[in-house]
Structure 1
Amino acid sequence: MLDDAQVEGFIRDGFVRLDEAFPRDLAAECREILWRDTGADPNDRSTWTAPVVRLGDYAQEPFRRAANTPRLHAAFDTLVGEGRWQPRGSLGSFPVRFPSDDDPGDGGWHVEASLPGDDMANFMTWRTNLFSKGRALLMLFLFSDVGEDDAPTRIRVGSHLDVPPILEPAGDKGLPFMELAGKAAPASEHRPVAYATGQAGDVFLCHPFVVHAAQPHHGTEPRFMAQPPLFPAAGQQLDLDRADGAHTPVEVAIRRGLGR
Structure 2
Amino acid sequence: MHNVLNSQQIQSFITNGFVRIDNVFSTDLAREARSILWKDIPADPNDRSTWTQPVVWLGMYTQEPFIKAANTAILHQAFDQLVGKGKWLPCMSMGAFPIRFPSEVDSGDTGWHVDASFPGDDPHDFFSARVNVYSKGRGLLMLFLFSDVSERDAPTRILKGSHSDVARLLEPEGEKGFSFMELAGKLSELPAREEALAIGKAGTVYLCHPFLVHAAQRHCGLVPKFMAQPPLLLKSDFSISSTGTCSPVEEAIRIALGRRYI
TM-score by length of 2: 0.96
Q: Which residue of structure 2 lines up, in the alignment, with residue 99 of structure 1?
A: 102
Match runs of 1:8-23 below 5 Å? 8-23=11-26
Could you say what secondary structure the match of 2:127 adopts? helix
- Tell me whether 1:119 sits opposite 2:114 in the alignment: no
Preserved contact between residue 156 and residue 194 of structure 1 (Cα < 8 Å): yes
What is the percent sequence identity of the aligned residues? Answer: 60
User: Secondary structure at the residue paired with 1:163?
Assistant: helix
Question: Are the aligned partners of 2:242 and 2:254 in contact in 1 as well (CA < 8 Å)?
Answer: no
- Partner of 1:84, secondary structure, is coil
The question of whether the paired residues in 2 share the 8 Å contact of 1:23 and 1:201 is answered with yes
Give the corresponding residue for 1:239: 239
Cα distance in 1 between the residues matched to 2:124 and 2:215: 22
> Given the alignment, which residue of 171, 177, 192 partners 1:174?
177
How far is 1:186 from its partner? 2.7
Alignment pair present for 1:108 and 2:107:
no
Partner of 1:213: 215
After TM superposition, give the deviation of residue 171 of structure 1 in Å.
Answer: 0.6
Please give the alpha-carbon distance, in whole angstroms, between the structure 1 residues aligned to 2:163 and 2:242. 20
Task: State the 1:184 CA deviation.
Answer: 2.4
Q: How far apart, in 1, do the equivalents of 2:249 and 2:95 lie?
A: 22
Q: Write the distance in 2 (CA, Å) between the matches of 1:196 and 1:186.
A: 24
User: Within 2, Cα distance between the matches of 1:65 and 1:115?
Assistant: 26
The whole-number CA distance in structure 2 between the counterparts of 1:138 and 1:56 is 16
Residues 154-176 of structure 1: CA deviation (Å, up to 9, x unaligned)? 00000001011111111101111
Aligned residues: 256
| 1:225 aligned residue | 227
Q: Tell me, what secondary structure is at the counterpart of 1:197?
A: coil
Q: Structure 1: 5+ residue runs without aligned partners? A: none
Q: 2:76 aligns with which of 65, 73, 77?
A: 73
Partner of 2:249: 250
- Residue by residue, what CA displacement relative to the aligned partner does 1:40-66 show, whole Å, maximum 9, x if unpaired? 111110111100001111000110000
- Aligned-pair distance for 1:205? 0.2
RMSD: 1.0
AA of the residue aligned to 2:187: A
Contact 1:110/1:185 (8 A) holds in 2: no
Query: Once the two structures are superposed, what CA deviation does each residue of 1:57-86 show, in whole Å capped at 9, x if it has no partner?
Result: 100011000000000000000000000000
Q: 2:202 aligns with which of 190, 200, 203?
A: 200
CA distance, structure 2, for counterparts of residue 105 and residue 39 of structure 1: 19
> Is the Cα–Cα contact under 8 Å of residues 114 and 212 in structure 2 kept in the other structure?
yes
Pairwise CA distance, 1:242: 6.4
Secondary structure (helix, strand or coil) at the match of 1:172 reads coil
Cα distance between partner residues in 1 of 2:42 and 2:168: 44
Q: CA deviation at 1:92?
A: 2.1
